[in-house]
Amino acid sequence: MTQLDLFADLAGRTADPEPVPATFAASPKVRATPPPPRHPKHSLSTTAESPAPRRSGRPRPVREPHRRAIEIGEAVAERWHNRHGGTAMEVPIGVVAALCLIKEKDPNGPDLKAQILAQDGAQLIAMLREIWSLHWVHRPDLIDRARILHEWLNDEVDEHRMHAVRAVAQTALQRGLFDLTAHEDPYLRSATDALSPVMTCLRSHGARQGLGEYHTPPPIADAIAEANLGHIAGLGLNLREPKEGYHIHDPCAGSGGMPRSAAQSLRERGKDPAAYQWSMVDIDPIAAACAAVNAIVWALGPRVTVACADSLANPNAVEDAMKEARAAFERRDEVLGKARIIAAIRRTQQLMEQALSPAA
């Protein structure tokens, strides 16, 4: 079941959410659509089916980004299996997730896509490790939640897997991943969920049925989020304007499609999603990992909690995940503290060696 509570008021509270979910009907499966026409770099077209501009004056691109994401997911899955990448679907998803974390700050600068495509397998593996490490410094809680997508990089990557990983990265970039995710503007970066189709296409139909995994199509998620946020387009109904500090919670989040739609709706109202508290829960570790990565990609802000649990069996899943998040920050601070001490010792040793050397 897809559930979403957009109105758990947390005024005066910034630590412990108290979500009270409201249940919606089960969502249908994602269905692939024909591939879209090619567009210039980092362009997101608005089709004739797009709605009129909202309060922000910006129309929401509806069809093109979602269709492109499905095309990327299908191509990545096909390339991974053609290269006999194996059953560890967290590897190709982790590659795409790491690439989603890259932002191109200067569109007029060097072609980042071309630079990555020119890397050999070892260089690409080193880059992926660096991406995850840098983001762990800033958000250890979310990167720890996404551990299943990057822990394979802690081991030595053999030549066969390296070639498969490089093929996945090449396919995702050549199919236009950066057109969806590399924008500096979080509104454009959040136009679609690039990880959901990758995860869906890599997972067998039987596995999805066993997990009860059915991702809400983005247009439906947009409609549900819009209705819950209190403004129904075309009817002019303003029921409840979401106030800063409200808690937006999805206890069956998948990779975060509903929160993405809610964040976009907030931005179209001129509001910053970072001013709200977000929590997402999913029983599937890979889905929860994708939600954690998406929380960074979509710039949901510092007050995001992602739990991997059965929200029906564990009503305290969010609170438990918050404890884990605090522990992750403590570990980060401890590691960085030790790193600074080691760096200071090495620097002192270098200065002493320089002072004692005959040349000095």
56-84 tens-digit pLDDT = 444 454 458 999 999 999 999 999 999 99
Confirm if 194 and 69 have CB atoms less than 8 A apart.
Answer: yes
Give the pLDDT mean for 9-36.
Answer: 36
Beta bridge partners of 3: 23
pLDDT in tens, 77-92: 999 999 999 999 999 9
Residue 318 has a pLDDT of 96
Question: Which among 277, 183, 259 has a CA at the least distance from the CA of 222?
Answer: 259
pLDDT in tens, 164-180: 999 999 999 999 999 99
Residue 195 has a pLDDT of 97
Residue 197 has a pLDDT of 95
CA atoms within 13 A on the CB side of 285: 12
From CA 99, how far away is CA 178, in angstroms rounded? 8
Give the pLDDT mean for 293-312.
Answer: 96
The answer to whether residue 55 scores a pLDDT higher than 50 is: no
Residues 6+ apart with CB under 8 A from 1: 23, 24, 25, 26, 252
Confidence of residue 300 (pLDDT cuts 50, 70, 90): very high
Give the pLDDT mean for 89-101.
Answer: 98
Flag whether the pTM goes above 0.85: no
Give the pLDDT mean for 273-282.
Answer: 96
For the chain, give the mean pLDDT. Answer: 79
Q: Considering only 12-16, 73-77, 128-132, 254-258, which range has the smallest mean pLDDT?
A: 12-16
Domain ranges of the chain: 5-11+26-37+60-343
Confidence of residue 216 (pLDDT cuts 50, 70, 90): low
Please give the C-alpha separations between residue 204 and each of 77, 118, 240, in angstroms, as whole numbers: 11, 32, 41
Give the pLDDT mean for 128-132.
Answer: 97
- In a 3-state reduction of DSSP, which class is residue 32? coil
Residue spans of alpha helices (H) in the chain: 63-82, 90-100, 112-117, 121-138, 140-145, 147-150, 159-174, 177-181, 186-189, 195-202, 205-211, 218-228, 257-268, 285-297, 317-356
Note the residue count of the chain.
Answer: 360
In this structure, is the dihedral angle defined by the CA atoms of residues 207, 72, 250 and 297, taken in order, positive or negative? positive
Confirm if 179 and 68 have CB atoms less than 8 A apart.
Answer: yes
From CA 35, how far away is CA 330, in angstroms rounded? 46
Confidence of residue 1 (pLDDT cuts 50, 70, 90): very low
- What is residue 231's DSSP assignment? E
Q: How far apart are the first and last CA of the chain?
A: 73
Q: Regarding predicted confidence, which is higher, 148 or 215?
A: 148
Confirm if 332 and 340 have CB atoms less than 8 A apart.
Answer: no
Token representation of residue 160: 């066969």
Token representation of residue 337: 């503290």
